[in-house]
Amino acid sequence: MATTDRYPRQAATLALAHALSAAERGLAVIPLSRAKLPALRSPHRDASGPAGPPCHGECGRFGHGVYDASTDPARIRELFAAAPWATGYGIACGLPPHHLIGVDLDIKSDTDSAAALRALALRHRFTIPPTIIVLTPSGGRHLWLTGPPEVVVPNSAGRLAPGIDIRGAGGYLVGPGSRTAHGAYATAPGTAHLAPAPCPRSLLRLLLPPPRPPRSGGGPTAGGAHGRGLVQFVLAAHEGQRNTRLFWAACRAHEDGIGPELTADLVAAAVRTGLTPREARGTIASAARMTTHRLTRDTPGPPS
């Protein structure tokens, strides 16, 4: 019988302790179930009526997956108290201060992901620097790297090479000390004291989606590098992520004051992922309304 079956309370206590330790290092965390999924279900799962823009926690309740992630010890304790069955924790990628990028080297009978990564490193002339490595129950490895704040690295599965998955913005890594149905995750010997190392530039270029061909008669993407990063984030969306990514990018654009200028680029990117222009503009309009309301609410009024 697995340890998590015999001692569920101890497993939950250990998971919380490991999560709090990770938060001390600036890593935002969420509780995970034995299946490596967010332990808290969405509070909107039984909602009826017309579907609106996805909620990323604006409702104030738990159950929004990686959007619940926090480094605040009080909030983390609340998350785990709401999920006493949690036996692990996830570390959100892409968030400051580390802007974590996870390179997941999976082990399969027909794939040597470590050899594939070495071949990529040789071909593109980069070296993985000493960094934190987490060993998975299946024999795989997670390499922790950091990215520049202005670059949005998308999640991908097998795009870099067979057996190599990337965890970027909107994704998470199973933290060391977590217990799952298949075993425990542990930091590789000699790496626990390390900080996540910067991602080599040549590798970082491989992780980003290919640049969008220029539009005829159009100029550069509005908002400079930040605007291009938001557009790339939308372009990297898979089915089931398209509205979520577009809504998130539009919110960030409006918060930074480039929303109107970036709208055309975001619509074009969303259409390339499979949304219709009407769907894309509707999602962006919802993001603009929500962002305007939040900024107005949070702006202090004149002194009395």
Tokens 């997670």 map to which residue?
A: 142
Tally of residues, the chain: 304
pLDDT computed for residue 287 by the predictor:
79
Which residue did the predictor score with more confidence, 48 or 26?
26
User: The tokens of 86 are what?
Assistant: 């949690």
pLDDT computed for residue 79 by the predictor:
97
| Local confidence band at 238 (pLDDT 50, 70, 90 cut-offs) | confident
Round to whole Å and give the CA distance between 232 and 208: 8
Round to whole Å and give the CA distance between 47 and 102: 33
pLDDT in tens, 167-207: 998 899 999 999 999 999 999 999 999 999 999 999 999 99
What does pTM read for this prediction?
0.69
Residues 6+ apart with CB under 8 A from 225: 150
Mean pLDDT of 161-171: 92
The DSSP code sequence of 264-298 is HHHHHHHHHHT--HHHHHHHHHHHHHHHHHHHHHH
Mean pLDDT of 262-291: 86
Round to whole Å and give the CA distance between 243 and 6: 41
105 beta partners: 141, 164
The DSSP code sequence of 187-227 is EPTT-TTPPPEEPPHHHHHHHSPPPPPPPTT--SPTTHHHH
